[in-house]
Structure 1
Amino acid sequence: MKGYHILIVEDDVTIGDLLQKILQREGYQVIWKTDGTEVPAVIHQADLVIMDVMLPGEDGYQITKKIKDLGLNIPIIFLSARNDMDSKLQGLTIGEDYMIKPFDPRELLLRMKKMLDHQYGTFTQIKHLSIDAEHKKVFNTSLHHEVVFTAIERKIFFYLYENRDRILTKEHFFEYLWQLEERNPNIVNVHIKKIRTKIDDQTGEMIENIYGEGYRLNTFVKK
């Protein structure tokens, strides 16, 4: 899934540059730091960390412990030339995975994908939104935060998502969400407007108003 932010902490310029190019080619957003001093300033932007062990100053284990102490549930993969069992066990105890240098990029990408899918679910990307239908969550990848819906807004958004690229009339929404005595003619419009604001879709490109018919969630929107 494109849009995940990956933090690389690697002081070897050759390896760091290679990782950055590979991940960007796969559609990931990449932040690359050569030591741990700048990690606290960017760690909240990261969905996954690729961490070298032998770094100038604090090593990868110390940096990872500080990340975990912040209470951040961010998966961390260690990349290290250390091939001894004690180092592997330490890395797997502190982080989520441990790979030995030199490594095959295909293996790293597969491990990353499995880890991201496990951590965040399987996402659908629509413009700047990452949609996790399984857990009913929506993330704005441009602003790097989860969209906070009310209960009714979440139901409306995912009703649109489940019927994406189809027009839903007001009657559809009424039958799905409201009892007869609660059916205010403007209630759908009000909630759609609030949802558009929250997902940064004020122009209605994603949730389109089909005049005289209803609303449609478009899965293909020009970026």
Structure 2
Amino acid sequence: MHVLIVEDDRRIADALGEAMQRFGHEVVWVATGREALAAAEKTEFVLLDLGLPDLDGQEVCRRLRKRSWVPIIAVTARAEEVDRIMLLQAGADDYLIKPYSMRELLARMDAVARRVNGPTSPGGDAESREDRWSAGPLVLDLRTRQVEMHGQSVSLTRREFDLLAALAIDPGAVRAREDLINEVWDANWHGSTRTLDVHVGSLRSKLGGREWIESVRGVGFRLAVPDAA
């Protein structure tokens, strides 16, 4: 796999690059956010340090996500929950708090790669296409990972799309919080469960209202088609 390391500390970058190469990955190193934006189109995975000299790592992540689905794991010393939530909202697939072990980094890379290469797939659909699902004005295309509402494109992050797809497996059925976290994030996810609530809130906003995703107290969430949709 072609890995882009975005790290302004040459010593750290060299050690990380050597470790990646030992496990068979091709590595490109850049030290700034602007270099990362220029190099990202030719990579398959991004390891992004947030403390860059020119652009904040969250801004780099946000710009990358607007134009690419390349997997991004952010590496940060910011341990506050609000920082982690903002990072995930910016489009990162996962994050690691410094200091971290190489074993954990590689495990998280494998987990993210599995999610990206095998996205959640709703079982049935109303249009006799396995990769397309619709309910009222909402259309979800798994092959292209595109969403439309009333014929207009809806821009979602990778996690938002996977969460919507997980809810669309069985519209109206309640999906437990734990199941959604395991499916959309990872069975070994150790972050705050508030991450799920943040993504649900963002989805509701982008779909046009809270009524699209109903909360079931003490259990989880379900996708519903509003009567007026």
With normalisation by structure 1, the TM-score equals: 0.50
Matched, 1:64 2:61: yes
Which residue number corresponds to residue 102 of structure 1? 99
Kindly state the Cα deviation for residue 119 of structure 1 after the two structures are TM-superposed: 1.3
The structure number with the bigger radius of gyration is 1
Which residue number corresponds to residue 8 of structure 2? 11
For 2:38 and 2:89, locate their aligned partners in 1 and report how far apart those are by CA, in whole Å. Answer: 25
For 2:102 and 2:49, locate their aligned partners in 1 and report how far apart those are by CA, in whole Å. Answer: 15
SS of the equivalent of 1:22 reads: helix
Return the letter of the residue paired with 1:42: A
Matched, 1:26 2:23: yes
Which residue number corresponds to residue 72 of structure 2? 76
Question: Which residue, 23, 32, 37 being the options, matches 1:35?
Answer: 32
For 2:36 and 2:77, locate their aligned partners in 1 and report how far apart those are by CA, in whole Å. Answer: 21
The aligned length equals 117
Is the 8 Å Cα contact of residues 47 and 75 (structure 2) preserved in structure 1? Answer: yes
Kindly state the Cα deviation for residue 60 of structure 1 after the two structures are TM-superposed: 0.8
For 2:112 and 2:41, locate their aligned partners in 1 and report how far apart those are by CA, in whole Å. Answer: 18
SS of the equivalent of 2:33 reads: coil
For 1:103 and 1:15, locate their aligned partners in 2 and report how far apart those are by CA, in whole Å. Answer: 12
Return the letter of the residue paired with 2:53: P
Could you list the per-position Cα deviations for residues 76-106 of structure 1 after superposition, in whole angstroms to 9, with x for gaps in the alignment? 1110111111111111222111110110100
- Superposition pairs for residues 69-148 of structure 1, below 5 Å? 69-70=66-67, 72-94=68-90, 95-121=92-118
RMSD between aligned alpha carbons? 1.2
Return the letter of the residue paired with 1:69: K
SS of the equivalent of 2:116 reads: helix
With normalisation by structure 2, the TM-score equals: 0.49
For 1:68 and 1:113, locate their aligned partners in 2 and report how far apart those are by CA, in whole Å. Answer: 20
Kindly state the Cα deviation for residue 41 of structure 1 after the two structures are TM-superposed: 2.5
The 4+ residue runs of structure 1 with deviation greater than 6 A are: none
Structure 1 residue ranges without an equivalent (≥5): 122-223
Structure 2 residue ranges without an equivalent (≥5): 119-229
